[in-house]
């Protein structure tokens, strides 16, 4: 399936120093940008046709891939002045770069890349700012078994705040950590069908418009996942992922782990 990646936002919460110049998908996690890690995850499961919804920082993203250096992360032989790669990251990838605008909502970005899906009945989508080791094959199977028109992973609430019950007179009758509530958060990994476009108005939102409409029809499936899921929505979160990479704690890098299904 093709993979649509929403990587055109400003990333305002990511900004810190040079973050004002670097788009969020290009913030570094280890030796490669966040976007690369997301794409390697999908490629591991055999999904190597990518459609990038570009906006802010589009030139930086294009430059990264058009000048990509395989020798930085792959073994190679230098023979007679010529490089022979022993492995490759992206040589079998197909990447379509589409300018979807600077201020465009995610739903409208998806509408604008629809022609590049080639009419495929199903496709994948991702916010491109979250890393996870969610088993994609299992998620796809459950999506089809349910007969859904769209699916998202649902993760436990990440907030450390508390929900407070307040009586009419102002007295507090209960305090509950958000993490203890029987709720889930949209984890940003989607499986979608062409039917989502029936519910996407111009300049609409993927979740608030299309997914909400499909939920009302019983056609939205939530894949609950309690395993590793880590956003990189802020500078602090990205720094934590970078530190984990250098510590060797990178469960999202499924392509490095022997024994997982290819």
pLDDT at 19: 45
- The count of other CB atoms within 10 Å of the CB of residue 178 is 15
Asked, for residue 94, whether it belongs to a domain, the answer is yes
51: its two tokens: 């459609």
- Flag whether 262 is in a domain: no
Average pLDDT, the chain: 90
Give the model confidence (pLDDT) of 61-84 as tens digits. Answer: 999 999 988 888 788 999 988 888
Distance, CA of 91 to CA of 251 (rounded, Å): 24
Q: Is residue 162 part of a domain?
A: no
Can you read off the two tokens belonging to residue 146? 């349910």
Query: Residue 235: inside a domain, yes or no?
Result: yes
| Number of domains, the chain | 1
pLDDT value at residue 39:
97
Note whether residue 217 is domain-resident: yes
Sign of CA dihedral 100, 105, 109, 111: negative
> Does any domain span residue 174?
no
Environment class of 149 (CB within 10 Å of its CB; exposed 0-12, middle 13-18, buried 19+): buried
Q: What is the pLDDT of residue 261?
A: 44
pLDDT, position 175? 85
CATH number at residue 36: 3.90.550.10
Residue 28: what are its φ and ψ, rounded to 5°?
Answer: -80, 135
Residues of the chain short of pLDDT 50, as ranges, are 13-14, 18-19, 260-262
167 occurs within a structural domain? no
In a domain, 164, yes or no: no
Domain range spanning residue 80?
3-156+185-256
pLDDT score of 88: 83
């Amino acid at each position: 399936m093709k993979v649509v990646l929403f990587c055109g936002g400003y990333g305002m919460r990511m900004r810190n120093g040079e973050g004002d110049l670097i788009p969020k998908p290009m913030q570094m996690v280890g030796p490669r940008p966040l976007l690369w890690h997301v794409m390697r995850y999908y490629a591991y499961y055999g999904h190597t046709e990518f459609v990038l919804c570009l906006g802010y920082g589009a030139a930086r993203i294009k430059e990264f891939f058009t000048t990509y250096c395989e020798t930085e992360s792959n073994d190679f032989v230098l023979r007679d002045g010529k490089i022979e790669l022993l492995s490759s990251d992206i040589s079998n990838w197909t990447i379509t770069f589409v300018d979807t605008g600077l201020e465009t909502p995610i739903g409208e970005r998806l509408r604008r890349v629809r022609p590049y899906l080639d009419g495929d009945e199903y496709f994948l989508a991702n916010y491109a700012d979250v890393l996870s080791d969610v088993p994609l094959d299992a998620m796809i199977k459950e999506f089809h078994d349910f007969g859904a028109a769209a699916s998202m992973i649902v993760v436990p609430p990440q907030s450390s705040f508390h929900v407070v019950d307040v009586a009419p007179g102002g007295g507090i009758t209960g305090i509950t950590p958000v993490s203890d509530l029987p709720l889930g958060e949209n984890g940003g990994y989607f499986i979608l069908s062409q039917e989502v476009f029936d519910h996407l108005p111009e300049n609409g939102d993927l979740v608030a418009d299309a997914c909400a409409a499909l939920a009302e029809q019983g056609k939205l499936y939530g894949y609950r996942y309690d395993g590793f899921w880590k956003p990189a929505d802020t500078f602090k979160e990205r720094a934590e992922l970078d530190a984990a990479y250098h510590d060797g704690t990178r469960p999202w890098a499924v392509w490095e782990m022997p024994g997982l299904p290819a």
